[in-house]
């Protein structure tokens, strides 16, 4: 669990505190009520309004079915976007839409092929909430890896269960790494579900922590080179109704020095 300084601490102090915990432990668990001070500091520093989380959450209602499930499951919906960021940047630059690819070393269920998902809607990226979350991740991970240029991928996930959907598997590949440097997992919304417990293990598969991302803006930040993560299945509280678990995932991978980080807006 993370304890952050009080809301009147400077933004730089808050980000440094979060980064120190990721560097020390390889992961950071920050419930929404402890993220709030960072919101306050960000708003004060940038003169933004409080992030519009409810507006951002609405974009999870328009996700497309994931057609690439190796287990044939119909329980996952998603959208995808790719960005770059130069070292020290405070914002992401969107890249032309492209396929998502993982090797089977990291995803034995769905890896080894190019997966083409519907793009994230432009309007979702203009919300104050998304802007804040990007700045937070860039600030924390940039402190963990000074001087790194980033290749960033955004995933909107909705896992469904109940009704005619029997299984709701947030991580059907099991305990895993993503093959990147850092991962941010942010709870957007949960409705009519229980379980979905997140587990963090070291590379020898010894459990380090178990927790539930339950409230909007609960988050976990992990060093993907040092720990494994996974989530247990979700169960519908009322099995006659569909329950949902909506999650935002941002992955950060160092870009080779010979690759430009200049932004190319998606057309």
Q: What is the pLDDT of residues 230-240, one digit of tens each?
A: 999 999 999 99
- Residue 262 clears pLDDT 50, i.e. is over it: no
What's the whole-model pTM score? 0.90
pLDDT of residue 227: 98
How big is the CA angle at 241 (ends 236 and 246), to the nearest 5 degrees? 60
pLDDT of residue 176: 92
CB-based contact 149:261 (threshold 8 Å): yes
In terms of Cα–Cα distance, which of 226, 249, 260 is closest to 87? Answer: 260
Per cent of the chain over pLDDT 70 is: 86
Task: Break the chain into its structural domains and give their ranges.
Answer: 11-254
Q: How confident is the model at residue 266 (pLDDT cuts 50, 70, 90)?
A: very low
Choice between 137 and 171, residue whose per-residue pLDDT is larger:
137
Q: Which helix (H) or strand (E) holds 223?
A: strand 219-223
- Residue 209 clears pLDDT 90, i.e. is over it: yes
What gap in Å lies between CA 240 and CA 217, rounded to an integer? 27
How far are the Cα atoms of 112, 138, 143, 214, 257 from residue 211, in angstroms, in the given order? Answer: 30, 24, 25, 9, 37
Q: How confident is the model at residue 10 (pLDDT cuts 50, 70, 90)?
A: low
Q: Mind listing the pLDDT tens digit for each residue in 177-201?
A: 999 999 999 999 999 999 999 999 9
Q: How confident is the model at residue 101 (pLDDT cuts 50, 70, 90)?
A: low
Place of tokens 């991302």: 213
- Residue 6 clears pLDDT 70, i.e. is over it: no
CB-based contact 154:120 (threshold 8 Å): yes
**3-state SS, residue 92:** coil
In terms of Cα–Cα distance, which of 60, 95, 58 is closest to 79? Answer: 60
Mean pLDDT value of segment 245-249: 98
- Residue 39 clears pLDDT 90, i.e. is over it: no
Ranges 54-68, 97-111, 138-152: which has the least confidence: 97-111
How big is the chain, counted in residues? 267
- Count CB atoms within 10 A of the CB of residue 12: 12
**CATH 1.10.3720.10 assigned to 11-254:** no
Cα separation of the two ends of the chain = 41
Q: How confident is the model at residue 263 (pLDDT cuts 50, 70, 90)?
A: very low
pLDDT of residue 265: 29
CB-based contact 220:140 (threshold 8 Å): no
């Amino acid at each position: 669990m993370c304890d952050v300084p009080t809301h009147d601490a400077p933004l730089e102090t808050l980000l440094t505190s979060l980064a120190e915990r990721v560097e020390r432990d390889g992961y950071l668990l920050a419930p929404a009520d402890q993220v709030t001070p960072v919101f306050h500091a960000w708003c004060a520093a940038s003169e933004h309004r409080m992030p519009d989380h409810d507006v951002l959450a609405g974009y999870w209602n328009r996700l497309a079915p994931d057609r690439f499930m190796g287990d044939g499951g119909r329980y996952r919906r998603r959208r995808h976007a790719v960005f770059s960021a130069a070292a020290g940047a405070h914002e992401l630059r969107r890249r032309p839409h492209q396929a998502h690819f993982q090797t089977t070393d990291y995803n034995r269920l769905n890896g080894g092929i190019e997966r083409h998902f519907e793009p994230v809607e432009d309007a979702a990226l203009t919300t104050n909430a998304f802007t804040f979350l990007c700045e937070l991740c860039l600030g924390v991970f940039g402190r963990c890896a000074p001087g790194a240029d980033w290749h960033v991928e955004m995933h909107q996930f909705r896992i469904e269960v109940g009704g005619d959907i029997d299984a709701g598997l947030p991580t059907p590949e099991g305990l895993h790494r993503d093959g990147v440097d850092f991962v941010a997992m942010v709870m957007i919304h949960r409705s009519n579900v229980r379980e979905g417990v997140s587990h963090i293990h070291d590379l020898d598969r010894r459990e380090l922590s178990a927790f539930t991302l339950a409230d909007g803006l609960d988050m976990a930040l992990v060093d993907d080179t040092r720990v494994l993560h996974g989530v247990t299945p979700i169960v519908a509280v009322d099995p006659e109704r569909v329950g949902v678990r909506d999650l935002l995932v941002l992955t950060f991978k160092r870009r080779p020095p010979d690759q430009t980080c200049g932004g190319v807006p998606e057309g």
